[in-house]
Amino acid sequence: MPHPDHEASPDLDDLERGGKAMSEERIPNRCRIVLIAPPPAPDEEARLEAALSGGDIASLIIAPYDADESAFQMRAERLSRLAQARGAASLVAGEPRIAARIGADGVHVEGPKAELAETIRRHQSKMMVGCGGAKTRDAALELGETQPDYIFFGRFGYDLKPGPHPRNLSLAEWWAEMIQIPCIVMAGSDIASVVEVAMTGAEFVALGNAVFAPGTDPAERVARANRLLDEHAPALEDVET
């Protein structure tokens, strides 16, 4: 099966450079952080704002967590605005219509190749379209043939162990070496696991429980993750635009 070849687009630049409200600060040429918004909670906006204040964040992925469409749209709009105000791209999981309505920067799709291809056909000219759900190389290549803006290795909410899932690290290392489409890899619950992800060559590391678990200080966790990446993450080749 031929390897997908992906050229950077303006939408991909949004993910790489931190969204439409791009920060004036230097964008690190190494693995960057993608936040996974936690399940709804009374203090979620304050905790997200704290996390966003902790340093460089490329983007925020907002998942529905079984909410109905109306409730999810209202929540996604609130969180999306917070992310964009801090220069991070906002991505809505699973709902292209909601992403379009609230002015999000992109949509995250987990489903069969045909569904992803249709979402790309209809929406990629206006927003980023990324994908997840691949657990094997063949499955990843199948999704990659549709030319998404990124591929995600891991599952939201399954970052309960200290380290990343070994399968996701293996897939990321192979993908980063062979494929030009950027990848995001789910880290573990230990903030230090960002280094394991970065060493695969992945462009992005996703953080959920490591930042938002009860009792954590989201700003401190993000700041620590960025320090670890600054110290240990290998430099990435510049994305051609």
For residue range 119-142, what is the model confidence (pLDDT) as tens digits? 999 999 999 999 999 999 999 999
Q: What angle do CA 35, 23, 226 make, to 5 degrees?
A: 45
Which pLDDT band, with edges at 50, 70 and 90, does 237 fall under?
A: confident
**Strand ranges in the chain using DSSP code E only, listed in sequence order:** 32-36, 59-62, 89-93, 106-110, 128-132, 150-153, 183-186, 204-207
How many residues make up the chain in this entry? 241
pTM > 0.85: yes
E strand or H helix that includes residue 220: helix 218-232
Confidence of residue 12 (pLDDT cuts 50, 70, 90): very low
CATH topology of domain 11-19+28-231: TIM Barrel (3.20.20)
Tens-digit pLDDT profile for residues 88-99: 999 999 989 999
Count Cβ atoms below 10 Å from residue 188 Cβ, excluding itself: 24
- Return the higher-pLDDT residue of 170 and 66: 170
Separation CA 241–CA 233 (nearest Å): 23
Confidence of residue 177 (pLDDT cuts 50, 70, 90): very high
Mean pLDDT of 168-190: 98
